[in-house]
Amino acid sequence: MIPLKYNIGNLTARRVSTLMTILGIGVVIAVMISMMALQNGVHSAVVSSGSKDNLMVMREGAAAELSSWVTKDAFYIIRALPGIAKDSTGAPMISPELVIIFKIPKRDDPKGSNVLVRGVTPTAFAMRPYIKLVEGRMFRPGVNEVIVARRIRDRFVNTGIGDQFQFGTQKYTVVGVFDAQGTAFDSEMWCNVDFLGQARKRDAYSSVILRPNDRDAFESIEAAITNDNRLKLDVKSEYKYYADQTNGLFGIVVLVTIVTVFMTIGAILGTMNTMFSAIASRGRELATMRALGFKRRTILLSVIIESAFISLLGGIAGLLLALPVNAISTGTTNFVTFSEVAFNFRIDSHVALTGILIALSAGIVGGALPALAAARMPITKALREI
């Protein structure tokens, strides 16, 4: 084996070109990690919204709550099913909810964007304890009061406490701000379900969320609703519903995939160019090592290790360059619900490790061709080169 100090000596002897290669790979990896952080942030915001302990009931064939309806008669039938958990007051943990889209002007876009407005009862908060009111007060039943997610307050006009906005013929007053811990509910407004239904002339709910007592109750309630021909409703876990909503973000997945492929190719080409340049000036040196008895595979491995080390440093530099985008808040459109989805760029351990491993892989692939060229160089020819 060729000692590792030989590789380190080569890197320090070419410190300027080595540093430029590390920075070049770092910029490429930083862009790639930023795009993966975008996808990870959107996915986490949507999928983390649903609980595996809750069941979600909607109309048969409905892909989203906006296209679903559950009649009030169906709600009362479901509410009477055995096996539904009770809260501290003995009331069943079942939440009828109505979801409607409002188009509201944004701070940076007067044309506005669609925002989900969710009509709920107090049970909705008991079933989602991570949703906390952080400013103002709770809306009152039967009046035109709403509470808004903090991210909606920050991105849309007339959504601060005490502000009013109009949709249709009805004005709504903002009385509180809530935080939903980075879930999809951070892109919503909430109000009283009965008032919202009256204001929008809707006499049915969009969905019903309920919590079974245990796994056996989960399966029996699911079977009872599915097999009741009076209801004609679909039932699935709340977690699965929100996981399916990521289908509306397919465009982001495609974008991230394309950027990742091109960035990886760029890293490979950058590493390959550096290693070809490095080997071109070391032809006689490598030939001398061959003449001293080092085998071709040893030369091959030494060059690949050197290339991989440069790319690994580039991957670490890229991660450091990308860290400032972590937790940046922005939004996009979910094309299943056609509404705003607010999210944070999210660089977690998986994204960071993926970026570094891609950089390392690019270094190995990018160094393979120059390494083969060095290993196959005839000794006599290399020794004659000036």
The pair of structure tokens assigned to 142 is 């039967």
Query: What confidence score (pLDDT) does residue 274 get?
Result: 77
Which amino acid is located at 254 in the chain?
V
Q: Is residue 356 a contact partner of residue 307, using CB atoms and an 8 Å limit?
A: no
Query: What confidence score (pLDDT) does residue 338 get?
Result: 62
Q: Is residue 136 a contact partner of residue 175, using CB atoms and an 8 Å limit?
A: yes
pLDDT string in tens for the chain (386-residue length): 676 776 677 777 778 878 888 898 899 899 999 989 988 888 787 777 788 899 999 999 888 899 999 999 999 999 999 999 998 888 899 999 999 999 999 888 888 889 999 999 999 999 999 999 999 999 999 899 999 999 999 999 999 999 999 888 899 999 999 999 888 899 899 999 999 999 999 999 999 999 999 999 999 999 999 999 889 899 999 998 888 877 666 677 788 888 888 888 888 888 888 777 777 666 666 667 777 777 777 877 888 888 888 889 999 999 999 999 998 877 766 666 666 777 788 999 999 999 999 999 988 888 888 777 777 777 666 556 54
CA atoms of 386 and 369, how far apart (whole Å): 23
CA atoms of 268 and 21, how far apart (whole Å): 11
The pair of structure tokens assigned to 3 is 């000692």
Query: What confidence score (pLDDT) does residue 116 get?
Result: 93
> H/E element holding 306?
helix 296-322
Contacts of 220 (CB under 8 A, 6+ apart): 82, 83, 212
The pair of structure tokens assigned to 334 is 């979910």
Query: What confidence score (pLDDT) does residue 343 get?
Result: 79
> Phi, psi (5° rounding) for residue 332?
-150, -175
Query: What confidence score (pLDDT) does residue 30 get?
Result: 92
CA atoms of 3 and 7, how far apart (whole Å): 8
Query: What confidence score (pLDDT) does residue 295 get?
Result: 79
